[in-house]
Amino acid sequence: MNYKIVKANINDFNNLWPLVFKSQIFQKKDLEKQEIQSLAKLRESLKSQVKDWLSHADKVYYIAKNDKHILGYVVGMLDGVTSKDGSLTDLFVDEQWRGYGIGHQLNRAVESWLKKNKMTSVVLAVHKTNSHAVHFYKTDGYSEISDNYMLLKKKI
């Protein structure tokens, strides 16, 4: 499969934000009826956030894309638990593109960006019941640093 990992910019906005929205819906599979009614608000809020974050130097989106589609994305930030921690705030690969190593490559892109920005660790949060994500991150070298909400950290 041919794809490349690139830093997203404002020109990617129209193709990126729908995947960010899909990611949020995927994370909220068991929506209550009242939550479904608020999806329009979530959609508009995410559009605004993605556009805003694409223009901030302390935040980055990396995308995996082929000639036709954005296959997945990752978001990194230059703030974390300590001044030397960066954050990985979201990573999503569309279901049809999973199993090709895209998530791991997106993860490496953010880790590289954080290192270039003098961060020594990357921190992320994942719900303990999300066993697939927990396994993914632990396979990538992250270790648990909190008992309540699974907070993971990796030296980079």
Which pLDDT band, with edges at 50, 70 and 90, does 38 fall under? confident
Which residue's structure tokens are 């690139």? 6
Query: For the residues 104-108, what does the mean pLDDT come to?
Result: 98
pTM of the model: 0.82
Domain ranges across the chain: 4-155
The CATH code of the domain at 4-155 is 3.40.630.30
Cα within 13 Å of Cα(146), Cβ side? 13
**Residue 24 vs residue 96, higher pLDDT:** 96
Q: What is the pLDDT of residue 23?
A: 87
The token pair at 2 is: 């041919």
Kindly tell me if the per-residue pLDDT of 97 is higher than 90.
Answer: yes
Long-range contacts of 95-102 (CB under 8 A, 24+ apart): 97/1, 97/3, 97/64, 97/71, 97/72, 100/1, 100/3, 102/3, 102/64, 102/71, 102/72
As a whole-number percent, the residues of the chain with pLDDT over 70 amount to 87
pLDDT per residue as tens digits for the range 55-91: 999 999 999 999 999 999 999 999 866 789 999 999 9
Kindly tell me if the per-residue pLDDT of 47 is higher than 90.
Answer: no
Q: What is the pLDDT of residue 69?
A: 93
Q: What is the pLDDT of residue 28?
A: 61
**Residue 128 vs residue 78, higher pLDDT:** 78
Report how far residue 144's alpha carbon sits from residue 63's, in angstroms, rounded to the nearest whole number.
26
Cα within 13 Å of Cα(120), Cβ side? 3
Kindly tell me if the per-residue pLDDT of 14 is higher than 60.
Answer: yes
pLDDT per residue as tens digits for the range 27-36: 665 555 555 5
